[in-house]
Chain A
C-alpha cells in the first residue's frame, strides 16, 4: 500500500497534470500495438488460415490425385476397379467471374449424379440437386442442361435466376438450379455438373483432381504408395489438401516480412516511452531524492518508474486492441491484393480476435514499455538522496557518453555488416533482420555524437540565417542532448523505414520496368477478361487464336500456355511459349549471359527448360541440373539450360518450348497470345481487327505499353500495405515529437518567460519552438536517410533476396523520397505548433521564479 501511494504521488499525479503529453505517449503505444495486432490478425485471415479456394465442397477425403495439365478421366475407372472399397470423386476446378459483381469465384465441377448424398455435406448436395419437393425428373433434366449452375446462398440468387458468368474467354448466361448453404469453411463457389464444367472450360477427358476416401485412416503412406503403383507415372498421389499446406508454406515468408515491418512502429514507440520515462525521472529528481531520504528503497523507486511505463503500456494496449481490430479490416484487404497478385487465389478468412491475440497485444504493449523504461528507471533508482536534494530544482543534465556511444555504434554497424553475409535460416532471412535491427541500434548510439556535432558546427550559420531564435534552439537541443537524441532516434527510425522501404519498392519497381521493357517483344498481348492472379490461367479459345493468326496484318502469334503445378512440395507455374516465333529482343535475359538466341536454340524441341530466378532459390537448383516433371500421365526429366530474371510473381516459373509441352500435354488451347504485327501494318488497325474477330469472346487486348502500365498498376497496389505501415510509423514518431516538444516547453518555461523580460516578442517565442522542431526534423531526416540507405541495402540484397529470390537493381526513387521527406519534415514542424502555442501562452510573471 505505501508503495502504491508512492507510485501515485510520485508518478500518477504529475502525469495527470499534463494530460495531453500523457495522452500522446499512450496513443503512440496504442498505435504501435494496433499495427502489430492488425498485421497479426490480417495475416491470420489472409494467409495463416489460408485454405485453397479449391477445397470448397471437397469434403473429408484422404488422398488426392493430381497431375500437371489434369488427370485423365480414365484414372477414375482404374481406381474404381482396384480391389479396395475406395470412394473416388473426380472434380473440375477452375474459376468463373460473376460479371455483374466482377467477383471471381471458384468453379467446381462435380459428378452430381453419381455423388449423391454419400458425398460430403449431405444437405448441401441435396439442395444442389434441386429442391426436395421438385419433381425428380426435373432435377435430372437440370443436370443434363450444360447451362445449369448451383450457387452458394451468399451469392443471394434464387432458383431459376439467370446468372451471367465469364469462364475463360466465354461469357454465357447460366441458370441457377439450386442454392446450397455456404459459409462455415465452404467458400461460395459456382458448382456445375462435371460434364457441364468440362464443356464450359473446354477441357475434355481430363479432370483437375480426383479425391479418394480410403476405407480406413491408418497407413496413409502405404495407401499412397499402393495407389501410385496402380496409376501412370506422371500422376501424383498425395494427402488431400496438400495444395493448401504448400500454399501456406509459400505465404509464410510474405507474412513474416509484413510482421517485421509492423514491428518498426513499435520500435519507434519504444523510443518514445524511453523518452517519456526519462523526462519523468529528470523532472522528479528532487522528489526522488526526498522520498529516498525519507526511506524509500532503490527497489521501490525502480518499481515505481517501471510501474509508470507498464501502466502506459497497459492502457496503450487496451486502446490498441479495438484500434488494431479496425485496422485489421483494412490491412486484410490490402494483404489479399498482394497475395492474389504474387501468390495464389484466395479469399481471406474472417478476422478472429482470439484470446491469444489479446494476450499478444498486452504482452507487446506492456513488454516494450517496460524494456524501454528500464534504463531511465534504473537511473532514478540510483539517484542519491543528498545529491538530488542539493541540486534542488535546478535542471539536472544527464551525462551522455558521446565517445563511448560512438564506439558502440561502430561495433554494432560492423556486426550488422557481418550478419548481412550470413545465409538464410530455414528459408527465413533471420540474419538479415538481425542486420537491420543492428543498424537501427547502431544509429541510436551514433545519434548523440551526430546531434552534438551538427548543432555545434551549424550554430553560427543558423544564427546568421535564422536569427537569435536559432541560436537558442540549437543550444537548447544540445543542452538536453539525451532527450534530443532519443527524439531524433525515434523520428529517424521511422524515416529510415520509410526511406529504406521506399528505396526497396522503388528499386523493385524500376527493375520491373526495365525488365518488362526487355520482356515484351510482341506488339499486342491478349488474355481472357477477369482479374488476374498468380495461380489462375484462364484460356483463350483455340479457334479464336487460329482466326487471329490468319488476320492479314498479323505476322505471327505466339501461343503461350500456363499450368498450375506442384514442384517439390511448392506451387509453381509451368509455361510454354512458341520458341520458333519468340523474337530475341535483347542480348541476354539470362543468368549465364549467353545470347538469348543461343538459349532459345537449346530449348527448341528439347527436353529442356529455363526456370525463373525465384524458382532457383526455392528449390536450390542451378544451370545444368535436371528437373523431374510430371506432365499428364508421364514423368520426364528436363535439363535446366538457363535461369531468367522474373519479377511477375514470387512463385517459381518453368518455361519450355511449346512443341515440347504439346508432346506431353496435347492441349492446344493457349492462356495468352502474343501478336506480332506484320512490318508496315498498323498496330491500331490490327487491334481493331482482333476486336472484331473476338466478337462475343471476352478477351483483353493490351498493347505493349498498356501491359506495362497494367503490370505497374498491380505492382503499386501490391505494395500499398507497406506504405500504410510506414505511414503509421511516421504518425507515431510525429506524435512523439509533439509530446516531447511539449515536455521541453514545460521544462524550459522559466527560460521562455525570461526571454519575454529581455525583450522577446511572442512571435519570437513561437519561432524559437518551431525552429527547435525544425532542427529536430532536420537532424532526424539526415540521420534517417543515412540509416534508411543502409537498411535499404539490407532489404534489397539480403532480406528480399533470401525470402523471395529476386535480384533487384538498386534505384533511389529520388522524387518520391524527397516528397515523402518533405512531408515528414512539414509534419514535424506542424507538430511543433501546439507546443509553440503553449510556450506563447506562458505567463512570464508566473514562470520566472526567484528562489
Chain B
C-alpha cells in the first residue's frame, strides 16, 4: 500500500464571499522512495494539496490517508503526533528561525517531539546535506542555498516517511536550484521517503519519477516515468 493516498479529495475555502474550490476530486497515490513533482499555474491548488498531505488541514470531502490513517479521523493532538512522526516540510523561503543557530533549527522538530539524541541526529543530517561544520552559525550567516539545505536537514531530522516541499527552489538561482533538486532526488532514494514537490520549473519536473499536473484544483494528468 502506498504511504500517501489522496482519495477523491475536495477542498473548499469559505472566505468572505463565495467558497473557493482549491482542490476538486483529486486522487493520488505516492509510494515510499517516489519523487513526485506537482506542477501547474499559480493558484491551481499545489500548496493546498501539500497542506492536506501534511495533515495540516482536512479535506472538505474525500480522504487523505497517511501511512494508512485517514487524517480526518484524528483530533488535533493526534494529528500533531502524526506530523511529528511522518511528515517533513520544506518551504520556498526556507522558514528558518532567525534567533536559533543552524544546529538548533535542525534539532527543533525532535525537541518539540520531546525526543532525545537531537544533537547527534542534527550532526548526521547536516552531514547528509553537506553542511558539516556550519552548525553553530546563525541563519543570516548562510547563503540561500545553504539555508535551504539547513531546512532540508531539518525536514529530515525525524526520518519522515513523507517529505513535502513547496517550491523549494523558488527563491534560488538556477545553479543552486539544480544542486537542491539533486539533493532532494538523492535523499528520496537514500531515505526512501515519499517526496512531493510543488514546482514551477520544468527542470525540476524533469528530475521527478512522476509529474502531476494540476489545473483549477483538478488533476489534469499524471506522467510516470
Interface residues of chain A, those whose CB is within 8 Å of chain B, are 395, 467-468, 471-472, 475-476, 478-479, 750-751, 754-762, 764, 844-845, 848-851
Contacts and interface: CB of A to CB of B under 8 A. Distances in A.
B76 A762 contact: yes
Contacts of A761: 76-77, 80, 112
A520 B91 CA distance: 80
14 contacts: A467-B114, A468-B112, A475-B100, A479-B99, A754-B97, A758-B109, A760-B112, A844-B56, A845-B51, A845-B57, A850-B92, A850-B166, A851-B92, A851-B171
Nearest to A763: B77
A476 B93 contact: no
Interface residues of B, number: 32
A849 B47 CA distance: 11
Contacts of B171: 851
A541 B84 CA distance: 88
Interface in B60-110: 76-77, 80, 83-84, 87, 89, 91-93, 95, 97-100, 104, 108-109
Nearest to B167: A850
B20 to A, nearest CB: 13
B113 interface: yes
B99 A478 contact: yes
Determine which residue in B91, B92, B97, B170 has the highest number of CB atoms from chain A within 10 A of its CB, and name it.
B97
B93 A758 contact: no
B213 to A, nearest CB: 21
Contacts of B109: 758-759
Given A471-B104, A756-B80, A850-B91, 17 more contacts: A467-B111, A467-B114, A472-B100, A475-B99, A475-B100, A476-B99, A754-B95, A756-B56, A757-B56, A757-B83, A757-B95, A758-B89, A762-B76, A764-B112, A845-B57, A849-B93, A850-B92
Contacts of A760: 80, 112
B158 interface: yes
B154 interface: yes
B170 A757 contact: no
Contacts, number: 70
B54 interface: yes
Nearest to B96: A754
A635 B159 CA distance: 101
Contacts of B167: 850
A475 B103 CA distance: 14
Contact of B98 (A471, A479, A756): A479
Nearest to B13: A845
Contacts of A845: 51, 56-57
Nearest to A851: B93
Nearest to B118: A468
Contact of B108 (A468, A762, A850): A468
B138 to A, nearest CB: 10
B112 A758 contact: yes
B84 A759 contact: yes
Determine which residue in A468, A479, A762, A845 has the highest number of CB atoms from chain B within 10 A of its CB, and name it.
A468
Contacts of A758: 89, 108-109, 112, 154
Nearest to B91: A850
Nearest to B86: A759
B54 A757 contact: yes
Contacts of B112: 468, 755, 758-761, 764
Nearest to B82: A759
Contacts of A468: 108, 111-112
B190 to A, nearest CB: 22
A851 B167 CA distance: 11
Contacts of B99: 472, 475-476, 478-479
A57 to B, nearest CB: 74
Rank and list the top 5 A-B pairs by shortest CB-CB distance, nearest first. A468-B111, A759-B84, A850-B92, A475-B99, A479-B99
A848 B84 CA distance: 18
B128 to A, nearest CB: 18
A475 B113 CA distance: 19
Contact of B93 (A395, A478, A756, A850): A850
Interface in B36-58: 51, 54, 56-57
Given A476-B99, A754-B97, A848 B91 contact: yes
Contacts of A471: 100, 104, 111
A468 B110 CA distance: 10
Nearest to A478: B99
